Structures are given as C-alpha cells and as structure tokens.
Structure 1
Amino acid sequence: MTSTSEHTSAVAGSEDSKLQHNRTLVRWWLYFVCALILVMVVVGGATRLTESGLSITEWKPIHGVIPPLSEAQWQEELEKYRQIPEYQLINKGMSLDEFKFIFWWEWGHRLLGRVIGIAFFVPMVVFWAQGRLEPWLKPRLVFGLFLGGLQGAVGWWMVASGLVERTDVSQYRLATHLTLAFFIFAYLFWIARRLAPREAATHEEQAGLTTLGWVFLGLVFLQLFLGGLVAGLNAGFTFNTWPLMDGQIIPDRLLVMDPWWINMFENVMMVQFQHRMVAYLLVAAVAYLAWRSMKVSGRAHVMRPTWHLAGFIGLQVVFGILTLIWNVPLSIALVHQGFAVFVLAASIDYLVALKGSYPTR
C-alpha cells in the first residue's frame, strides 16, 4: 500500500514538474510577444509623428514585405503617393530621398506587424504539436491570433481613411487602432502573468480590492483611447503650457462645436483637456488604490505591484508634461507613448496578484 502511494505521489510530482516547465516556456514566449508589441507601439508612434503613415498606399499582406529594389520601383511607389491628398496639399514637390524617409518608417511598421504574427503563430503551432498547451489555453491563444489578424485589418482601415478626401487618417480610427494594440498586449500579458506560480490572495484581499483594480484598469484604457485622439488630431502641438491651458485652468472654448458631444472627439482643445483631466484622475485613483491596498492587505505580493503602478503613473505624468511643454519632440514623445505600456502592464499585474495563478488541476 505504501509503495503504491509513493508511486502515485511520484507520478503526480513528475506531472506537476512537467506542467510547470511547459507553463514557463509558454510564459516567456508570451513575454517576448508582449515585448514586440511594446516596440510596435513605439514604432507606430514614430510613424505617426514623422507623418509617414500614408506613404504606402496599398495593402499587400504578403507581397508587401518586399520593399522597392530598383529605381523604377521607387519611382512607381512615389507616383502612387502623388495621387493622394497628403502629397497634393502638403508634400507637393517632395524629392525621392524625402519620400524614402517616410516610406521606410511605414514599411518598418508593417514589417514588424508581420514579424509579431509569425512570432505568435509559429511557436503556438509548435507548442500545440508538442502537447505543451493545456486544453483550456488553446482557445485563448487562438483568440489572441484572431486579435492579431483583426489589428492588421484595423490598421489598413485606418490608413484607408487618409487616402481619398483627408490629408491624414481619421482620429477615430487611429485611436481604435492604438487602443486595440494595448488591448492585445493586456490580453497576452494577463495570460502570461497567470501562468507564473504565485502566492494566493486571501478572500478579504480579493473582495476588498478586485473591483477597484478593474475600475483603475478601465481608467487606464480610457486614457489610452484619449491619447489616441490627441495623436490623431495633433492636439499635443497646441496649448503647450502647464499647468494652465490657454492661460486658464478650465479654458473657455471647450464646447464651441455643435452638437456639444462632438467636442469630445473633434475639438482639439477639448481633446487635450480631457487627456489632462484623466491624467489627474489617475494620479488621485492610484493614491487611493495604494491607501486601500495597505488598509486591506499590506502584504508584499499585493503591495509590490501597487508601488510599481504608483511609480509608473508618476513617471508617465512627468513624461506627458515634458512632451507638452517641449512641443512634442520625437524622443520624449516616443518615451511617453511607449511607457504607457508599462502603466498598463502594472495595472494588469495588480489584478493578477489578486486573481492568482491558473489552477493546475
């Protein structure tokens, strides 16, 4: 009887060890994909700030990976660009060398999207074939693959909005494209963090803090969407003072458009004002979250992500202010956009600390 029990325990221990090994491999693969998404967010910001996003006027998911290889092909690409309003109204007379500069940014952005797709799909297939994926994990990863394909389609939908009547892309579509990128990151990072073994939260911690954590995450996503509107309207290049805006705490011309609600999406002043106000709200919210976490828990596994989140919010506010008052220099603007991913990651990590690891049985 003892021998049988020992054998059963040994088998169970071996299975648990194999499970944790597989989870570790999958977790680090997802971390790598998340890191690529971070790079993609930064490259996307650079593509936007260098006004490069409309330089490639066709959607060729496969063939488009090959850039122009001859002078004739470069001239052909430039001629296609000459047909759109951005060239005709803003960049008329652009030289081939100037065109190549914006072309390479957009081409690099699209190529990185393809690289992310491969970096996700190929390991997923390999892990699936090797039996390293738990049954519950497979549909979650397939949904992640779907989100990646959707993001490619949304990206082209965004670009298409600037090829006919506009000289830039729709701020609505840009904000959607950017927010979806952040959602994909959050989705994969959530899975990866829950695959790591961690200390379980108590019932009191879960009951007292989980709702607050989700509300905070909702505020973060709202701010990310508003940041997309700011980028889409180039609102960061206006009202470059802080803490006053147009000489006031609350400017006068926030609701000059009719109907009133359109101001929240199309009035440059209102869009920037909203982004500022939600930043202040996040600072207050993270202070309350830290206070509440200390009161309800105070344990290291909850407080560690809390302090990370508070620190990242503080840094992000500083980066945002510097981006504004320095009139959106490329370097600090990209730091501000990229660091938003760290704020989002910390928000997810806080919730995972309360939710715990995925069950092993």
Structure 2
Amino acid sequence: MTKQRKENKAVIYWLLTGCLLIFIMVIVGGITRLTHSGLSISNYKLISGTIPPMNEVEWKEAFELYKQYPEYQKLHNHFNLEEFKDIYFWEWIHRVIGRFIGLVFIIPFIYFLIKKRLSKSTINKSLVLLFLGGFQGFLGWYMVKSGLVDEPNVSHFRLAAHLITAFLTFAYTFWVALDLMFPDKKAIDKKFRNFIRIGFAVLILQIIYGAFVAGLDAGWIHNHWPFMNEGKFMHETVYIEHNPIYLNFIEGKSGVQFVHRTLAYVVAIFILAIWYKAKRMTMTSFQTRGVNLLLIMVGVQFLLGVLTLLMAVPVWLGVLHQVGAFILLSAMTFTLHRFSK
C-alpha cells in the first residue's frame, strides 16, 4: 500500500468490512437461490423478521403461511415441517445479513460524521453507498414478490437486478476504500484506462447473464462443452423458443445460456488483451499485481463455469462459480482503479 493518511485508517477498515459482508451476503444469496429457498418467507417485517420462529407453534404458523403461496401448492406440497425449516433457514439468514450490513454502514457513518472524520467527497460517496444498500434491499423484496403471485418462480430480470446491484455496491464500496488507500494522484494512460472500462462493462454484462441463467434454471440444459447438444455451437433451440427472435436471448433458456457461454470467451479475450497491453507498459507493483490477478482469475472462473455446466450445477460448484465472479470483479475494479487515479 502507498502512503496512507493516518486519519483515514478507521474509515478504510469500515469500508473493507462492508466489502467482506457483501461478499458473504452474495455467497448466502447464491446458496439460497440454488437450494430454491428464496420464497420460503412470504412476508417482510423489518424488525420482528430478524427473529425466526422460536417454538413449534410459531413454526407451524410460518408453514401455514407458506402453504398459501404457489411454490408450496405447485412444487412443494409434499414438504413436511422439517423440510420447510431447511429452506426457511437460508432465506432467513440471507435477510438477517442484509439487515446487519445496513447497520454496519449506517452506524459508523453517523459516528464518522459526528467526529468529522470524513471529507466532503467521502461523505457524498458514502451517501451513494447508503442509497445503493437501501435499493438493494428493495430489489430483494421486489424479486420475491414476483414469485408469490401465479408461478413459483421469481422473475429472472428482477433476480439479475438484485444480484448486479449487490456486485456494483461492492465494487463502488471497494473503489471508495481504494481512493482513501491510494490518495496520491499520478499521470495515467487514458486510452488504456478506457479499454479497461470497456472490459469492466463486458464483465458486468456477463454477470447479468449469469443471473439470467440462474433465474431461468438454464444451467440444467446443454450440459456439454465446448459445444451445445448434438455437437452444435449454436443449437436450434437457441432461436426457436420464443417469437420474436430477440426474446430468445433474454427470456429463452437455450438463448440465455448461449449468450452466457459465448460472453465467457469475450471476457477472457478482453482480459488477456488488458494483460498483454499492460505488460508492454511501465507499471507500478500494484498495477502489475492487478493485471496478473485478473489473468489468473479469468482462467479459474472460466474453468469453474465449464465444470458447473458439465456437472449440471451442483450447489457447491454453482456457489463457487458465483464466488469466482465476485473475485474477478474485485480484480477488475482494483486494476481499473490503479490505472485510473
């Protein structure tokens, strides 16, 4: 780390703690999705909802409420109380962590304000973070609502919005921490910085399509690589599920999977190009670490994606693939910051 302003240390630790908690939140969220636990709690109580059912009577009441909604009626009507408790746990812990993150951001923020430990710029950035956190919570409930009406499935668009907001909240929190960790300005290559920005945007698009795949359960089809079923690069199901054709690429299982697996090559090529271009420049030690980590992580993430597909998305591997995306985004954020400031 370059020279730090001593008075910023506590603020940096606060922001990095937030990053760690968002990371944990994303892992639990991935488990919640892959175990199909997200619709187990059909009401939202900000305060009292932090306490799970504490006795048999309360558990039966929660189970009876669950029975009123499509997921139980159409998918889980064979569930007993113990099976309900299993899926209830993951959604409950996901919501509790969300509330805890809110407290971890708000309480220290107020303390730092009172103690005048934040610059005007950091205050403004922190307010953006608080808004993103609140918006993320709203999107979570908005997503759950979509699965409580007619069909026991949440909208994959709302799922993607919920997930990508979490990733962007993390990236921005990390960026604000990096601003404080590396306060010194330096000359930059704007052309190269803009190239990394494009790579960042492509990675975000790929993460969105990963959420589409998860939301549509599209990882359980075409479980082959490098080609889809029947040895075809683009299987005909990619473009015949919906009409007009473009809907296949945002709502069709095969179409969405095709885009996600194709974008993986685009992301890998972009990062390889970033690494190659950077190696021809004079870099600082942190810039070197950033581009090297990028190259390593895109290889790891590509491999995880292929294995997840070939093994038809076992929970542990699906979660690991999501963790890989998170770390890859972290490396991209760090690299972009080091070539931007």
Give TM-score scaled by structure 2 length: 0.95
For residues 208-357 of structure 1, the aligned pairs below 5 Å read 208-246=191-229, 247-256=231-240, 257-356=242-341
1:13 is matched with none
1:5 is matched with none
**1:109 aligned onto 2:125:** no
Q: Label 1:352 to 1:64 Cα distance change in 2 as closer, same or farther (>3 A).
A: same
Q: Label 1:143 to 1:207 Cα distance change in 2 as closer, same or farther (>3 A).
A: closer
1:171 is matched with 156
**Residue 217 of structure 1 aligns to which amino acid in structure 2?**
F
1:359 is matched with none
Q: Residue 73 of structure 1: which of 55, 58, 73 is its match?
A: 58
More displaced stretch, 222-231 vs 68-77: 68-77
For residues 86-125 of structure 1, the aligned pairs below 5 Å read 86-125=71-110
C-alpha deviation, 1:63, in angstroms: 1.4
Q: Label 1:201 to 1:209 Cα distance change in 2 as closer, same or farther (>3 A).
A: farther
In 2, Cα distance between the equivalents of 1:306 and 1:185? 20
**1:40 aligned onto 2:25:** yes
The 8 Å contact of residues 57 and 81 in structure 1, kept in 2 or not, is answered as yes
In 2, Cα distance between the equivalents of 1:334 and 1:121? 29
Q: What are the ranges of 5 or more consecutive residues in structure 1 without an aligned counterpart?
A: 1-16, 357-361
Q: Could you report, residue by residue, the CA deviation over 1:173-232 in whole angstroms, capped at 9, with x for unpaired residues?
A: 0011001100100110111112113775434xx223110011011011001100110000
Q: Could you report, residue by residue, the CA deviation over 1:309-354 in whole angstroms, capped at 9, with x for unpaired residues?
A: 1111111011111111111111111111012111111111111112
C-alpha deviation, 1:298, in angstroms: 4.4
For residues 181-196 of structure 1, the aligned pairs below 5 Å read 181-196=166-181
C-alpha deviation, 1:146, in angstroms: 1.1
Seq. identity, %: 37
In 2, Cα distance between the equivalents of 1:140 and 1:194? 11
C-alpha deviation, 1:54, in angstroms: 0.3
1:159 is matched with 144
In 1, Cα distance between the equivalents of 2:302 and 2:94? 27
Q: What are the ranges of 5 or more consecutive residues in structure 2 without an aligned counterpart?
A: none
C-alpha deviation, 1:124, in angstroms: 0.9
Q: Label 1:298 to 1:197 Cα distance change in 2 as closer, same or farther (>3 A).
A: closer
Q: Label 1:22 to 1:154 Cα distance change in 2 as closer, same or farther (>3 A).
A: same
**1:180 aligned onto 2:165:** yes
Report the structure number with the largest CA radius of gyration.
1
The 8 Å contact of residues 293 and 306 in structure 1, kept in 2 or not, is answered as yes
The 8 Å contact of residues 254 and 270 in structure 1, kept in 2 or not, is answered as yes
**1:55 aligned onto 2:20:** no
C-alpha deviation, 1:300, in angstroms: 3.2
In 2, Cα distance between the equivalents of 1:346 and 1:162? 34
Give the length in aligned residue pairs. Answer: 337
Q: Residue 145 of structure 1: which of 127, 130, 139 is its match?
A: 130
Give TM-score scaled by structure 1 length: 0.90
Q: Residue 253 of structure 1: SS of its match in structure 2?
A: helix
C-alpha deviation, 1:299, in angstroms: 4.5
In 2, Cα distance between the equivalents of 1:49 and 1:28? 32
C-alpha deviation, 1:69, in angstroms: 1.1
Q: Could you report, residue by residue, the CA deviation over 1:70-123 in whole angstroms, capped at 9, with x for unpaired residues?
A: 211111110111011111111103100000000011000000000111111111
In 2, Cα distance between the equivalents of 1:298 and 1:21? 26
The 8 Å contact of residues 169 and 232 in structure 1, kept in 2 or not, is answered as yes
Q: Label 1:137 to 1:298 Cα distance change in 2 as closer, same or farther (>3 A).
A: closer
In 2, Cα distance between the equivalents of 1:184 and 1:297? 31
In 2, Cα distance between the equivalents of 1:335 and 1:22? 37
In 1, Cα distance between the equivalents of 2:17 and 2:233? 42
More displaced stretch, 328-337 vs 296-305: 296-305
2:70 is matched with 85
Q: Could you report, residue by residue, the CA deviation over 1:13-68 in whole angstroms, capped at 9, with x for unpaired residues?
A: xxxx9x81222221121111101101111100100111100000001111111111
